[in-house]
Structure 1
Amino acid sequence: MNSDHHPLSAKCEIVAQYWRGIIPSLTAKKYDAIMASMSITAKRQEVIGFSVPYAVGISGFAVMGNSKLAEKPGTGETYSLDTQADAAKKGIAHISSFLVGTSVGVQGSTTASTFQDKYFKGSVDIKKYKSVEEHNLHLTSGRLDAVLANATVLAAALEKPEMKGAQLVGPSFSGGEFGLGAVGLRKEDAALKADFDSAIKAVADEGTIKTLSSKWFKVDVTPH
């Protein structure tokens, strides 16, 4: 990536990478930055650096439309585990009561996986996958009852033909384990971080993040 000190006009090459190897490949200089809805966590900060946040992490559940889990109250609502703790806990308890005894897929080594282990371990059969695409395939083929993933990732997936019949259910959750999404960077790349920080602040202030996320994901992910 060549920023030339003009972060808003940088030319980027997109590199596909499995999640499990996304940080090792960054540190190995296979690419220069991670932009994949990665949340800032203390464990990740031991290895890499981050830009300022560009998105609030929001995750939710998806099921097949013909499932008994399909019509659940709270669909379309989002609760913050930080600022709406009581409402979020009620939402978790509500959806947990419907998921008891079901199989729920989640991508391993993600904030969604951490959330799943904290609130649903023991009450549901948690199955961990290498990728969102893999657990989505198992959902549509009937091998899972539900999946939990980043809501923006799920929203994009639900637009694809292979996800026909799937839908979001129950409330989505932000804050807490989901944190804030930012660009993952090598710690030594201070100049690149400065470019990203400047660009992110600019598009957040001018409303571009809100406009684009609302258009494509149906939710405003602008950090506040």
Structure 2
Amino acid sequence: MTVTRRTFVSTLAAGTGLLAAPGLLRAQARTIRFATEGAFPPFNQTAPSGAITGFEPDLIQALSERQGFEFELIAQAWDGMIQGLIDGKYDAVVDAVSVTPARQEAIDFSLPYTTGGSAFVTVNDTGLTLPQTGIKVDLADEAGAKPAIDAVAAALKGKTVAVQVSTIQSGFLDTYLAPQGVTVRAYQTGPDAYQDLLNGRADAVMASVTNLSAFLKKNEGKVAISGPTFGGGLMGNGAAIAIAKGSDLATMFNEGLKAMSDDGSLSELSAKWFGIDVTPKL
């Protein structure tokens, strides 16, 4: 798959102070190249100046200061981003990448830095409400999840659900809802999908709960989560830094994430960008 690179690169250099522990990677003081979308708020977004901001850029900045490395954030379209990692176009991906069994066959991951499932959002004044709102459904239990999936599919039959292309949510919709008469419309970015929901060109949108937080806050009173929250199975178990198979980066990233979890700074970043703590205890 061809990777389409955007027209700018945002480079942020971290300090190279004292290292917490010896290690070949740190001794090399290499610059680590992170691909990110720059269009998936509040995880990452592009400011008018062209700088990439958000929860994940702040996270990588904090990790670089703790672990003693420099880094480069490369703005990259999501579709094809993981293939670009496999092809060696960058060293890591930090773009709310969910840890799923299918992805673990092709790439490795750090420890997760967020948890949470995926949900549907509908526009309040359309009268469309999905069943079992507030219920958590574990897709790892296929038999137990089936009644909730079928109920949602029945409510959405003949309707259109917007979703970002090549995401775990698009995989969920294609696997479980499209065969039951639900139209799935894929978009290059999450904000594009959200905009079509607001414009009435889609009946619902599906995304991660963490990503939906900014959209819900911005459109409070207009839209709401409707239906169950789905997790596990093909939805994965949290977002993590994606790295190539066998990469020597995993240990360093995990050390930094664990330290941030232990001292509360990871939770503080979450509260800053999401308004709540969506981080796991590592």
Q: TM-score range by the shorter chain?
A: 0.7 to 0.9
CA contact (8 A) 1:60 1:150 kept: yes
Identity %: 34
CA contact (8 A) 1:75 1:170 kept: yes
Q: Which has the higher contact order (CA 8 A, sep 6+)?
A: 1
Higher strand share: 2
1:147 aligns with 2:205: yes
Match of residue 150 from structure 2:
93
1:109 aligns with 2:109: no
The structure number with the bigger radius of gyration is: 2
1:39 aligns with 2:77: no
What is the aligned length? 220
2:232 to 148, 170, 175: 175
How much does 1:202 deviate? Answer: 2.7
How much does 1:185 deviate? Answer: 1.6
Match of residue 79 from structure 1:
137
CA contact (8 A) 1:209 1:220 kept: no
- Supply the distance in 2 between the matched residues of 1:85 and 1:220 (Cα, whole angstroms): 28
How much does 1:106 deviate? Answer: 1.6
Q: Deviations over 1:145-190 (max 9, x none)?
A: 01111111111222336x8722211121111111122101234540
Match of residue 59 from structure 1:
118
- Consecutive unaligned residues of structure 1, counting only runs of 5 or more, are none
- Consecutive unaligned residues of structure 2, counting only runs of 5 or more, are 1-12, 21-62
Using structure 1 for the length normalisation, give the TM-score. 0.80
Relative to structure 1, the CA distance from residue 105 to residue 186 in structure 2 (aligned partners, 3 Å threshold; closer, same or farther) is same
Relative to structure 1, the CA distance from residue 115 to residue 30 in structure 2 (aligned partners, 3 Å threshold; closer, same or farther) is same
How much does 1:45 deviate? Answer: 3.8
- Supply the distance in 2 between the matched residues of 1:27 and 1:184 (Cα, whole angstroms): 10
- Supply the distance in 1 between the matched residues of 2:269 and 2:226 (Cα, whole angstroms): 23
CA contact (8 A) 2:118 2:169 kept: yes
Match of residue 203 from structure 1:
260
Q: Write the letter of the residue equivalent to 2:212.
A: L
- Supply the distance in 1 between the matched residues of 2:152 and 2:142 (Cα, whole angstroms): 17
